[in-house]
Chain A
Amino acid sequence: MISVIQKKNRKFKEINYYQNHDVSNYFLLPFRFQKINSKTEILVNEVGDFLLVPVGTAEQIILKKLDKIKDEDLYLDLISNFFISEEVIPPLLNILEARYRTKKSFLDHFTALHIFVISLRCEHTCHYCQVSRVTENKDEFDMSLYHIDEGIKIMMHSPNPHITMEFQGGEALLAFNNIKYAVLKAKEEALLYEKHMTFVICTNLAPLTDDMLPFIKEHNIMISSSLDGPAFIHNQNRHRPQRNSYEVTIEGLNKCRAILGEDNISALLTTTNLSLDYPTEIVEEYVKQGFSNIFLRPISPYGFATYNEKKNKYQTEKFLTFYKSAFEKIIDYNKKGYYIREDYATVILKKILTSFPVGYVDLQSPAGMINNVIVFNYDGKIYASDEARMLAEMNDFTFQLGILGQSTYNEIFYGKKAMEIAENWTNESLAGCSECAFQSYCGADPVLNHATQGNMYGYRPTNVFCQKNMEIIRYLFDLMEDKSIEKIFRSWITGHSE
């Protein structure tokens, strides 16, 4: 049996404790259960603590067939981990309340991440990108200084003392002068509003020039770049007339590492149909480039959004096969002593193995959109998330919350649109999720539901988000039964090998 809380030693008990056992004299506390494999099932309580137990245990517990003496170990684990109680209201309920509050404490400060789509221009023509424009027309496709100012005003109104300002594109570095303006302006305002600022530029690194680096370094700006795998995948995914996107990226990565430091540059993987055939090669490339993390992201359904159930299911199954092969390779590297973690799994593992919330917008309930992230598009339109802006590029404005310079803070964050989205953003109240054992490790994604199923509420049995998360979470628990893998997982959440 594995428990999230390490077992303490059991105290010595008086003789009357053993004389006085009553088989069904306990009350259930809220918990959910699910099979992990043919032998094991998982019990998860309301704050995400879990127990891995033999199949059939949930039935025994729920039908009150547990024997306090015969099943003493399990019984005491269930009591101490708040699965059952000997009193209707457990005397230590306030501890459970505090734990619940902590799990949801990402809500306390509200929106942290403010994405500024600083330019829609790009010099790449990636076939999967529905958004960027190859053009010199700055007036039409760069964010105006007026909209930057208005975006900063809204950003400073966030109750959150820690704000991240992220510049995205198109290719953000094509509008570097505007980034400079925005950083300086935001820093000035941050002093007034007492905000702690973090800056991020998302870039393919192609337009990076030596004269940009001093400014980036001086203002501690982090660089988030893209690496899709070895040259034959990266260059195929990311079209440039010279077919040298990979070479330019690696050169930029090395330059940034040398000048900004290892920790200030990261790379994101965009998975495409081509990538799905090369899981091992992709992981090997990340190791070759010295990365200690890789984020195996699913193929984005935006741009190809379709309500085709069969196609969505097939794509997700293919991605899961890819994910597991790549994951095995990652585990293999760790077993051989090379520390590399998979980021999606790490987010889930943090939720599973620690009492704290994880600020990852795609796996939250209430969802990360609006609560944690807001997007200011190049044209001044405001969206609930980055994916919501992708939809808008396909003329679906369902998740547009307002316009910079016209809408007030309350209209944007607490308006009718936000309220409509809010009705669908807690998995605790969604059909299918409400009794799902993985609820506390998963999240809700009304934008994805809308894009793939035509409504924000979604239908779990054929939902790509559900299909992916249900299997990945089950897979992680299945692997965790192997103690050596559990140890690797724990090293991922602490950030260092043990």
Chain B
Amino acid sequence: MKNIVTLINNELHFSLNEQLYDEDVVFKCFYWYGTDYNVEIDKKDNVFFVKISSKSETKIDHDHLLIKIKQDLIDFKLRDIVTKETKNIRELLTAKAFAHFETDENPVTEISDPIGFDPTNF
């Protein structure tokens, strides 16, 4: 997060580097700021320029908002990692769950119930 400018008239401007924050992360994160803020995002040369202004008369607490944004960006980056890393397995899971159901043979597996977990319980 760079070039942070806090404006007295209820605005906050800053930039984010695309190498650190993927476009999906930036848009998914600031989507939720629409509850209380108007958000504008521009992109030039791998840098996102974000402008946040309050929807209401209430004065923005810039320090508080900055802490929240930093934390949210981390969280949405983490969510993005899960979404991308698990995309194939999720698709496989839904496709197989809704494919015409036939009783499969029990899966051939090395696991001999190493954690005391008994699949027949399901």
- Which A residues form the contact surface with B (CB < 8 A)? 8-11, 13, 27-33, 46, 58-59, 62-63, 76, 79-80, 88-89, 91-101, 104, 310, 313, 355, 431-432, 435, 459-462
Contact = CB atoms under 8 A, between A and B. Distances in A.
B71 to A, nearest CB: 9
Given A11-B115, A13-B114, A79-B115, A461 B109 contact: no
Contacts of B98: 101, 104
A265 to B, nearest CB: 37
B89 A89 contact: yes
A435 B86 CA distance: 12
A330 B33 CA distance: 34
A99 B31 contact: no
B34 A461 contact: yes
Given A28-B82, A46-B93, A461 B35 contact: yes
Given A30-B93, A62-B78, A99-B122, A435 B83 contact: yes
With most chain B CB atoms within 10 A of its CB, the pick from A88, A93, A94 is A94
B49 to A, nearest CB: 21
B115 A92 contact: no
B92 A93 contact: yes
A66 to B, nearest CB: 14
Contacts of A59: 74, 78
A92 B107 contact: yes
B3 interface: no
B119 A95 contact: yes
Given A59-B78, A431-B31, A435-B83, A46 B92 contact: no
Interface in B53-76: 56, 74-76
A29 B86 contact: yes
25 contacts: A8-B115, A29-B89, A30-B89, A30-B93, A31-B86, A59-B78, A62-B82, A63-B81, A76-B115, A79-B115, A80-B117, A89-B92, A91-B110, A92-B107, A92-B119, A93-B89, A93-B92, A94-B104, A94-B107, A95-B119, A97-B96, A100-B97, A104-B97, A310-B56, A461-B31
A101 B97 contact: yes
Contact of A435 (B79, B111, B116, B119): B79
Nearest to B27: A431
B31 A432 contact: yes
B122 A98 contact: yes
A91 B34 CA distance: 42
Interface of B: 28, 31-35, 56, 74-76, 78-79, 81-83, 85-86, 89-90, 92-94, 96-98, 101, 104, 107, 109-111, 113-119, 122
Contacts of B119: 92, 95
B33 to A, nearest CB: 7
Contacts of B75: 33
Contacts of B33: 461
Contacts of B89: 29-30, 88-89, 93
A216 to B, nearest CB: 41
Contacts of A95: 119, 122
Given A46-B90, A97-B96, A62 B81 contact: yes
B119 to A, nearest CB: 6
- The 7 closest A-B CB pairs, nearest first, are A461-B34, A91-B109, A8-B116, A461-B35, A30-B86, A100-B97, A101-B97
A30 B91 CA distance: 10
B35 A91 contact: no
A92 B109 contact: yes
With most chain B CB atoms within 10 A of its CB, the pick from A98, A104, A355, A461 is A461
Contacts of A92: 107, 109, 111, 119
Nearest to A62: B78
Given A79-B115, A98-B122, 19 more contacts: A11-B113, A11-B114, A11-B116, A28-B81, A30-B86, A30-B90, A31-B82, A31-B86, A62-B78, A63-B78, A92-B107, A93-B96, A94-B107, A97-B93, A432-B31, A459-B34, A460-B31, A461-B34, A462-B34
Nearest to A355: B122
Contacts of B101: 101
A68 to B, nearest CB: 12
A390 B93 CA distance: 38
A310 B92 CA distance: 42
Contacts of A80: 115, 117
Contacts of A93: 89, 92-93, 96, 107
Contact of A8 (B31, B92, B117): B117
A100 B93 contact: yes
B115 A10 contact: yes
A101 B111 CA distance: 24
Contacts of A313: 35
A65 to B, nearest CB: 12
A238 B81 CA distance: 53
Nearest to B111: A91
Given A28-B82, A91-B111, A94-B104, A8 B118 contact: yes
B25 to A, nearest CB: 11
B96 to A, nearest CB: 5
A63 B76 CA distance: 13
Nearest to B87: A30
A32 B76 CA distance: 11
Contacts of A76: 115
